[in-house]
Amino acid sequence: MTKGLDRLKGLSTSVGTKLFIILILLLAFAFVVIVYYNINTYTNHLHQNVLKNAVQVSNIIKSACYYSMLKNDRESLQSIIMSVGSQEGIDGIRIYNREGIISFSKDKGEIHHVADKRAEQCYVCHREEPAKGLVPTKDLTRILTSPEGYRQLGLVNPIENSPECYNAPCHAHSKEQKKLGLLDVKLSLKSIDEEISATRKRMVVYSVALILFTALLKGGFIVLLVHKPIKKLIKGVKEVAKLNLDYKVDVKSNDELGILANSFNEMTKELKNAQSHLVFSERMASLGKISASVAHEINNPLSGILSYAKLTSRILEENGADPEKIKIALENLKFISEESKRCGEIVKNLLLFSKKTFGTIKGEHLSTLIENSIRLVEHSAKLQKVKFVKEIDGENDIVVVDTGAIEQVFVDLFINAIEAMPNGGLIKVSTKNGKDDIMITVEDTGCGIPEDILPRIFEPFFTTKDAKKSTGLGLCMVYTIIEDHGGKIEVFSKVNEGTKFVITLPRLSKKLS
């Protein structure tokens, strides 16, 4: 429950949600403006049309009544009004005489009623007295509400005097009279209002549906493109904070978040390298200290063992005794001597390692150092049917190094390669001279190194070979020497395909510790 609440709280403050809300609000605002503008334009357009139609209808009625009025044929006039008035959409037709009396009407009951000059249909012209002669068409219209509650458009159309009227035999009007009466038509706006309201409803419903649809799409895109990648990045940061440097942020997009995720992964990779380098260096440093004291302590008793063993064998040889026993004693002593020698070798290596003393540092062609090292192992390579392939750039390849130490590095790498190819193979040595560094690659076609032991090969005393013959110090020395020269060593290997060591050495001398 609290977890759910926390998630909801997190969601409400997330960038994705904020972006989503802002976009939806802007979208809704744009839709409201567009719908309002469209409905307004549409309504105005309809009103204009209705007005035009109303004027036309009113003029047609006036023309239809013209001859009946001219002949003063009241019956035919009333019947024209009745028949036109029965058309759909025409709610009322009246003709007022000059005195404001309804002379003809669709509604017979209102005939002879007198209209007040303040009634809306009269007030249009009789706002000022004497009444205005010319009134603009829009002022001749008015909007009314029918008893049923719908809107009506009222239009007054003055009936002008004309020579045909005042010269007619009935002599009903004199020449001075300008207006003879008023035609008042009421048109129903019911169907138009219904259409406007239906259109408005339709537009609102479509707009809401469109907003919801785009909101859904936008929400989906935001979750996919923003929310999820950010969540993954946050998880990555938390994992790295917990020192889980193997964690990789899985964001594959090529946008800014993808670039950020890639940079993050690069950063963790670098952090991991730096961390393992630090751990390794620390281990080396402590090992250096221990080995220094161990070597010192062990060296003395070892030389004692060696000299006593030699002495005993000489005594036994000189003084003679049971030949059988002498033989066994001699064998034992030989063993003591060999083992002591081996211990001596280890101690020598330990001392070398702990002291980190360099021989003479001098400038030398790297190609010369490589050639010298190859010469040292050539014999054992031949025995094992191992051939060297060289791609060495001998131009501008001067390195300022402890030449002996660097030769030892190559010899160690070559011996390891030879040992990894008991049935023969190739050792490819290549160099590439860069601006400040030289890149050296030593590649073999040997047995390769399994992935699980690859991170351990530079550890001191780590060996997969016969522990009696191998010390497991070779690569540890190689690593230390290269690091102390300000260089770098990396290993790439595939089981049954081979191993590749890539060394980078600075071309200019760096301060050696």
Ligand X SMILES: Nc1ncnc2c1ncn2[C@@H]1O[C@H](COP(=O)(O)OP(=O)(O)O)[C@@H](O)[C@H]1O
Please report, as ranges, the residues that interact with ligand X according to CB under 6 A: 412, 416-417, 420, 444, 446-447, 449, 457, 462-465, 470-472, 474-476, 499
| Site stretch for Mg ion (CB under 5 A), options 335-343, 349-357, 416-424, 498-506 | 416-424
- What are the distances in angstroms from CA 200 to CA 25, 35, 356, 441? 21, 8, 90, 78
Give me the least distance between CB of 318 and ligand X, in Å please.
Answer: 39
Give me the least distance between CB of 506 and Mg ion, in Å please.
Answer: 25
| Site stretch for Mg ion (CB under 5 A), options 115-123, 164-172, 294-302, 467-475 | 467-475
Helix (H) or strand (E) holding 364: strand 361-365
Amino acid at 137: T
Should residue 474 be labelled a site residue for Mg ion when binding is judged by CB under 5 A?
Answer: yes
Q: Give whichever of 364 and 412 is closer to Mg ion, judged by the CB atom.
A: 412
> Cα–Cα distance between 217 and 63 in angstroms, integer?
61
Q: Give whichever of 356 and 507 is closer to ligand X, judged by the CB atom.
A: 356
Two structure tokens written together for 504: 């980078």
Among Mg ion, ligand X, none, what binds residue 295 when CB lies within 5 to 8 Å by partner kind? none
Among candidate residues 43, 67, 26, 63, the one with its CA nearest the CA of residue 168: 67
Phi, psi of 33 (to 5 degrees): -60, -45
- The length of the chain in residues reads 513
Size, binding site for Mg ion by CB under 5 A: 2
Among ligand X, Mg ion, none, what binds residue 57 when CB lies within 5 to 8 Å by partner kind? none
DSSP secondary structure letter of residue 322: -
| Site stretch for Mg ion (CB under 5 A), options 211-219, 319-327, 411-419, 484-492 | 411-419
Give me the least distance between CB of 477 and ligand X, in Å please.
Answer: 8
Q: Give whichever of 102 and 420 is closer to Mg ion, judged by the CB atom.
A: 420
Among candidate residues 432, 437, 439, 389, the one with its CA nearest the CA of residue 414: 389
Give me the least distance between CB of 420 and ligand X, in Å please.
Answer: 3
Among Mg ion, ligand X, none, what binds residue 17 when CB lies within 5 to 8 Å by partner kind? none
Should residue 487 be labelled a site residue for Mg ion when binding is judged by CB under 5 A?
Answer: no
For the chain, helix, strand, coil in percent to 5 are 60, 15, 25
Among candidate residues 478, 479, 418, the one with its CA nearest the CA of residue 445: 418
Among ligand X, Mg ion, none, what binds residue 417 when CB lies within 5 to 8 Å by partner kind? ligand X
Give me the least distance between CB of 312 and ligand X, in Å please.
Answer: 31
> Cα–Cα distance between 284 and 476 in angstroms, integer?
9
Among candidate residues 170, 138, 172, the one with its CA nearest the CA of residue 155: 138
Q: Give whichever of 460 and 474 is closer to Mg ion, judged by the CB atom.
A: 474
* Helices and strands (H and E) in the chain: how many: 12, 12
Should residue 14 be labelled a site residue for Mg ion when binding is judged by CB under 5 A?
Answer: no
Q: Give whichever of 176 and 466 is closer to Mg ion, judged by the CB atom.
A: 466
Q: Give whichever of 220 and 422 is closer to ligand X, judged by the CB atom.
A: 422
Q: Tell me whether strands 425-433 and 386-391 are parallel, antiparallel or unpaired.
A: parallel
Query: CA torsion sign, 304 to 305 to 308 to 310?
Result: negative
Give me the least distance between CB of 294 and ligand X, in Å please.
Answer: 19
Among Mg ion, ligand X, none, what binds residue 105 when CB lies within 5 to 8 Å by partner kind? none
The answer to whether residues 160 and 125 touch, using CB atoms and an 8 Å cutoff, is no
Q: Give whichever of 150 and 492 is closer to Mg ion, judged by the CB atom.
A: 492
Tracing tokens 């009279």 back to the chain, one arrives at 177
Q: Give whichever of 23 and 415 is closer to Mg ion, judged by the CB atom.
A: 415
Between CA 460 and CA 463, with CA 309 as vertex, the angle to 5 degrees is: 15
| Site stretch for Mg ion (CB under 5 A), options 79-87, 393-401, 471-479, 492-500 | 471-479
Q: Give whichever of 81 and 475 is closer to ligand X, judged by the CB atom.
A: 475
Give me the least distance between CB of 348 and ligand X, in Å please.
Answer: 15
Q: Give whichever of 37 and 461 is closer to ligand X, judged by the CB atom.
A: 461
Among ligand X, Mg ion, none, what binds residue 457 when CB lies within 5 to 8 Å by partner kind? ligand X
Among ligand X, Mg ion, none, what binds residue 446 when CB lies within 5 to 8 Å by partner kind? ligand X
Evaluate the omega torsion of the peptide bond into residue 323 and state whether it is cis, within 30 degrees of 0: no
Transcribe 333-361 into DSSP letters. Answer: HHHHHHHHHHHHHHHHHHHHHHH-----E
Among candidate residues 371, 384, 375, the one with its CA nearest the CA of residue 426: 384
Give me the least distance between CB of 309 and ligand X, in Å please.
Answer: 26
Give me the least distance between CB of 388 and Mg ion, in Å please.
Answer: 18
Give me the least distance between CB of 456 and ligand X, in Å please.
Answer: 8
Q: Measured at CB, which residue is nearest to Mg ion?
A: 474
Helix (H) or strand (E) holding 142: strand 141-145
Q: Give whichever of 91 and 412 is closer to ligand X, judged by the CB atom.
A: 412
Among ligand X, Mg ion, none, what binds residue 347 when CB lies within 5 to 8 Å by partner kind? none
The answer to whether residues 418 and 427 touch, using CB atoms and an 8 Å cutoff, is yes
Q: Measured at CB, which residue is nearest to ligand X?
A: 474
Should residue 460 be labelled a site residue for Mg ion when binding is judged by CB under 5 A?
Answer: no
Give me the least distance between CB of 452 and ligand X, in Å please.
Answer: 12
Helix (H) or strand (E) holding 492: strand 488-494
Among ligand X, Mg ion, none, what binds residue 81 when CB lies within 5 to 8 Å by partner kind? none
Give me the least distance between CB of 498 and ligand X, in Å please.
Answer: 8
Should residue 416 be labelled a site residue for Mg ion when binding is judged by CB under 5 A?
Answer: yes
- Between the two ends of the chain, the Cα-to-Cα distance in Å is 61
The answer to whether residues 348 and 291 touch, using CB atoms and an 8 Å cutoff, is no
Which residues of the shown chain bind Mg ion in the complex (CB under 5 A)? 416, 474
